[in-house]
């Protein structure tokens, strides 16, 4: 099944470098705040990752520009260490060193273009570099590290490994740091090295090797494959350490080598809760009493019975909290919006949607979170669409089509591949496979917008003043299909999830067309209904498999059956 979309895009490294230098220079006199230090760490790591991938397309090696970019990321890691520990003099010193390194890089050769990748943990899953600072401290305290080789797994491991290496240097260790790109099938990834880098690493077999990445993901093979390669070089298992974002014994990982490898290696993991909640740091930015609503816990506050719960894949839910601030009246919702500069774009979108009357307005943003009013209301159930909600939905989607135009981030061929694979694997009907191959061409992304992307019924609530759309800020920008795409995707989704049927769906489309001026929308709905159902079938099936014998596993299994039936009817329709 295919549910994730490719989030790589072409960029000019020299332009990225110029933007980064400008950001650093603006604070050259005063030094950085901690939030700015985080932003620059992420941007430096993104630049290093893109250029290093370009320099080493098939196997990682040693190159002067890659080494200089590694030094820049390490300097950004030192800045983060000092802003985190409230040492302004030291942070300004390292800020100046970072500026000097960036100026040297600007004078040297850079590839004309390179591919940038979205670091998913920083964007969606509340992976904070500060937790890796703490993991490095714990690792040093436990093992008394003297000589260390830090290996960061690109993409996100670029910045995370710079943080770990900088922290260990601050603690007195002798550190060498490299990044590498695991390659191959997702369930059997392993790095490839050029001979000169192999020779350099072989001379350090007696050092401690710290493998640093966000994971593990479903397979866990990237860290495991790297560890297996080091072991084949003669590095003892007890000298290979994992610094992931969460702890596992490996038994639930999908990769055979991961299940065999993960129990062999000591892990150092620090949670978000330990760093941000137990210390009171998050409450320092958002004073009040916080209650965790993450991983589907929000359902307890919304529904009377568990039988009413919509299915939730906990690993894909953003962190969110209910905030009770005694100094002001009312509850507020605190939700993770991402680290770095991209989060400000999401906040601006939320403000525009609020100004148009469709969502609650953001109050403030800090530390990667956005604060909004908590609006009491009753969620809509699947199949419970009514005339008033249809009118609001038509106005909402017309607003997106008019005011949030965007280039498509998924091409026709990727959409077709997703549909073909999910139909074949989800329905197992060769006749339907044939129908997919004859989907009309030339209709995809005629009116591409930054979609809502989550037109599930429970994403609407009925309040005392009408209907509001929740969670509308950034699903067009997550790592699932459809990305920015034709508005027909959201219209088809709303028709399906609200249970409008043929007549209700035609009415929704007619109202949308009148409000938006989109005269050809009716011709685009059918293929997008197929695409939407194929995606939801794939997502629900994979979630059911991962969650297994759990209430949400059963909910997703039921959803998959429901989407399969609708998809079969749509293809035959």
Q: How many domains does the chain contain in total?
A: 3
Residues 261 and 301 in one domain: no
- Looking at residue 274, what is its pLDDT? 97
- Looking at residue 393, what is its pLDDT? 98
Q: 459 lies in a domain?
A: yes
Residue 500 has a CB neighbour count (10 Å cut-off) of 21
pLDDT at 443 over 60: no
- Looking at residue 157, what is its pLDDT? 97
- Looking at residue 384, what is its pLDDT? 86
Residues 246 and 303 in one domain: no
Q: 249 lies in a domain?
A: yes
Query: Across the strands, what pairs with 212?
Result: 152, 243
- Looking at residue 486, what is its pLDDT? 96
The CATH number of the domain holding residue 60 is 3.40.50.2300
pLDDT at 441 over 70: no
Give the pLDDT confidence of 446-501 residue by residue, as tens digits. 889 999 999 999 999 999 999 999 989 999 999 999 999 999 999 999 999 999 99
Residues 476 and 539 in one domain: yes
**Rounded Cα–Cα distance for residues 536 and 414 (Å):** 16
Q: 304 lies in a domain?
A: yes
Residues 42 and 74 in one domain: yes
Q: 278 lies in a domain?
A: no
Looking at per-residue confidence, does 311 or 342 come out higher?
311
Average pLDDT over residues 242-269: 94
The CATH number of the domain holding residue 398 is 3.90.1200.10
- Looking at residue 440, what is its pLDDT? 64
Residues 361 and 421 in one domain: no
Residues 259 and 303 in one domain: no
Residues 347 and 401 in one domain: no
Q: 332 lies in a domain?
A: yes
- In the numeric block, the tokens 């000019």 are attached to 12
Average pLDDT, the chain: 94
Boundary of a domain, candidates 273, 305, 328: 273
Residue 515 has a CB neighbour count (10 Å cut-off) of 17
Q: Which two tokens stand for residue 274?
A: 């330990």
Buried b (16+ CB within 10 A) or exposed e, 58-70: eebbebebbebbb
> What is the DSSP annotation of 223-279?
HHHHHHHHHHTT--GGGEEEE-SS---STT-S-HHHHHHGGGS-B----HIIIIITT
Give the pLDDT confidence of 87-105 residue by residue, as tens digits. 999 999 999 999 999 999 9
Residues 454 and 471 sit within 8 Å (Cβ to Cβ): yes
- Looking at residue 252, what is its pLDDT? 86
Give the pLDDT confidence of 173-232 residue by residue, as tens digits. 999 999 999 999 888 999 999 999 999 999 999 999 999 999 898 899 999 999 999 999
Residues 247 and 354 in one domain: no
Average pLDDT over residues 235-239: 96
Give the pLDDT confidence of 417-436 residue by residue, as tens digits. 999 999 999 999 877 777 77
Boundary of a domain, candidates 373, 390, 421: 373
Q: Please list the alpha-helical segments (H only) found in 171-316.
A: 195-202, 221-232, 256-261, 272, 281-285, 299-302
Boundary of a domain, candidates 319, 345, 373: 373
Q: Which two tokens stand for residue 195?
A: 């001979």
Q: What is the DSSP letter of 186?
A: T
CB burial of residue 171 (10 Å; 0-12, 13-18, 19+): middle
Please compute Rg for the chain using Cα positions.
25
Q: 341 lies in a domain?
A: yes
Looking at per-residue confidence, does 254 or 425 come out higher?
425
> What is the DSSP annotation of 64-84?
HHHHHHHHHHHHHHHHHHHHH
Residues 335 and 437 in one domain: no
* Reported confidence tier of residue 437, pLDDT bands at 50, 70, 90: confident
Q: 283 lies in a domain?
A: no
Residues 361 and 400 in one domain: no
Range of the domain at 326: 288-373
Q: Please list the alpha-helical segments (H only) found in 428-520.
A: 430-437, 488-497, 501-516
- Looking at residue 343, what is its pLDDT? 86
- Looking at residue 271, what is its pLDDT? 96
Residues 421 and 564 in one domain: yes
How many residues are given for the chain?
573
Q: 443 lies in a domain?
A: yes
Model-level pTM? 0.94
pLDDT at 259 over 70: yes
- Looking at residue 178, what is its pLDDT? 97
Give the pLDDT confidence of 22-69 residue by residue, as tens digits. 999 988 888 899 999 999 999 999 999 999 999 999 999 999 999 999
Residues 521 and 447 in one domain: yes
Which range among 165-169, 409-413, 529-533 shows the weakest confidence by mean pLDDT? Answer: 409-413
């Amino acid at each position: 099944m295919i549910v994730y979309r490719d989030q790589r895009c072409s960029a000019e490294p020299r332009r990225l470098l110029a933007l980064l230098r400008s950001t650093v220079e603006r604070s050259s006199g005063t030094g950085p705040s901690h939030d700015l230090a985080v932003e620059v760490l992420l941007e430096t790591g993104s630049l290093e990752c893109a250029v290093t991938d370009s320099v080493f397309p098939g196997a990682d090696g040693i190159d002067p520009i890659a080494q200089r970019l590694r030094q820049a990321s390490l300097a950004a890691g030192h800045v983060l260490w000092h802003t985190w520990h409230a040492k302004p003099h030291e942070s300004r010193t390292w800020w100046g060193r970072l500026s000097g390194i960036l100026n040297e890089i600007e004078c040297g050769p850079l590839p004309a273009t390179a591919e940038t990748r979205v670091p998913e943990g920083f964007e969606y899953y509340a992976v904070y570099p500060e937790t890796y600072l703490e993991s490095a401290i714990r690792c040093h305290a436990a093992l008394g590290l003297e000589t260390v080789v830090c290996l960061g797994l690109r993409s996100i491991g670029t910045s995370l490994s710079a943080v770990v290496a900088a922290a260990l240097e601050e603690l007195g260790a002798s550190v060498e740091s490299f990044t590498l790109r695991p390659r191959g099938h997702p369930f059997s990834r392993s790095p490839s090295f050029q001979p000169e880098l192999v020779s350099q690493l072989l001379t350090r077999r007696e050092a401690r090797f710290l493998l640093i990445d966000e994971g593990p993901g479903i397979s866990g093979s990237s860290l495991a494959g790297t560890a297996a390669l080091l072991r084949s070089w003669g590095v003892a298992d007890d000298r290979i350490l994992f610094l992931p974002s969460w702890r596992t014994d490996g038994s639930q990982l999908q990769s055979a080598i991961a299940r065999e490898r993960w129990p062999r290696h000591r892990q150092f993991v620090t949670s978000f809760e330990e760093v941000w909640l137990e210390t009171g740091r998050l409450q320092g930015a958002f004073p009040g009493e916080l209650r965790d609503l993450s991983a589907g816990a929000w359902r307890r506050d919304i529904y009377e019975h568990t039988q009413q719960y919509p299915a939730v894949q906990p690993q894909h839910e953003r962190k969110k909290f209910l905030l009770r601030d005694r100094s002001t009246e009312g509850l507020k919702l605190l939700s993770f919006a991402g680290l770095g500069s991209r989060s400000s774009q999401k906040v601006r979108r939320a403000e525009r949607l609020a100004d148009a009357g469709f969502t609650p307005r953001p109050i403030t943003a800090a530390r990667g979170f956005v604060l909004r009013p908590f609006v009491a209301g009753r969620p809509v159930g699947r199949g419970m669409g009514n005339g008033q909600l249809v009118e609001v939905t038509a106005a909402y989607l017309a607003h997106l089509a008019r005011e949030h135009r965007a280039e498509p981030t998924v091409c026709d061929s990727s959409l077709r591949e997703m549909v073909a694979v999910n139909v074949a694997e989800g329905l197992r009907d060769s006749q339907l496979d044939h129908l997919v191959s004859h989907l009309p061409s030339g209709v995809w992304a005629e009116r591409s917008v930054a979609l809502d992307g989550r037109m599930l019924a429970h994403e609407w609530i009925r309040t005392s003043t009408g209907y509001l759309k929740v969670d509308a800020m950034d699903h067009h920008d997550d790592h699932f299909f459809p990305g920015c795409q034709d508005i027909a995707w959201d219209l088809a989704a709303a028709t399906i999830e609200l249970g409008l049927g043929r007549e209700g769906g035609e009415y929704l489309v007619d109202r949308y067309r009148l409000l938006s001026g989109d005269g050809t929308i009716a011709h685009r709905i059918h293929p997008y209904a197929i695409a939407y159902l194929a995606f939801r079938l794939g997502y629900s099936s994979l979630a059911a498999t991962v969650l297994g014998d759990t209430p949400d596993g059963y909910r997703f299994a039921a959803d998959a059956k429901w989407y399969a039936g609708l998809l079969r009817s749509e293809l035959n329709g």
